[in-house]
Amino acid sequence: KQEVTQIPAALSVPEGENLVLNCSFTDSAIYNLQWFRQDPGKGLTSLLLIQSSQREQTSGRLNASLDKSSGRSTLYIAASQPGDSATYLCAVDSNYQLIWGAGTKLIIKP
């Protein structure tokens, strides 16, 4: 059974720092992995989708990597800004089902 874990549950860093969020999964047989952002009281916004055949995807200051063999994905945020404060969730597409992590709550201090 696929399980997805995101550690840490919360992270607070000063503005301007580069940071990495982690997502691990137990079964390497995945079709894709998606990273989402959720602002308080809002729905989820898709940030990046990495197909299983890809190693990484980039969008602006965001870079997501995927290592299926080790069951890990990372979301790298460059030059963090207060507006990046949100909860970041990863979801693994496994057997036509999305299996979700609980998210990492990120706070960027001005």
Partner 1 sequence: EAGVAQSPRYKIIEKRQSVAFWCNPISGHATLYWYQQILGQGPKLLIQFQNNGVVDDSQLPKDRFSAERLKGVDSTLKIQPAKLEDSAVYLCASSFRGGRGTGELFFGEGSRLTVL
Residue ranges that bind partner 1, judged by CB under 8 A: 4, 31-32, 34, 36, 41-46, 49, 51, 89, 91, 93, 96-98, 100-103
**Residues 6+ positions from 78 with CB-CB distance below 8 Å:** 18, 61, 62, 63
Q: In whole angstroms, how close is the CB of 58 to partner 1 at the nearest point?
A: 16
Distance between CA atoms of 82 and 75, rounded to whole angstroms? Answer: 17
Closer CB to partner 1, residue 42 or residue 109? 42
Q: In whole angstroms, how close is the CB of 76 to partner 1 at the nearest point?
A: 20
The one-letter amino acid code at 103 reads G
Q: In whole angstroms, how close is the CB of 80 to partner 1 at the nearest point?
A: 22
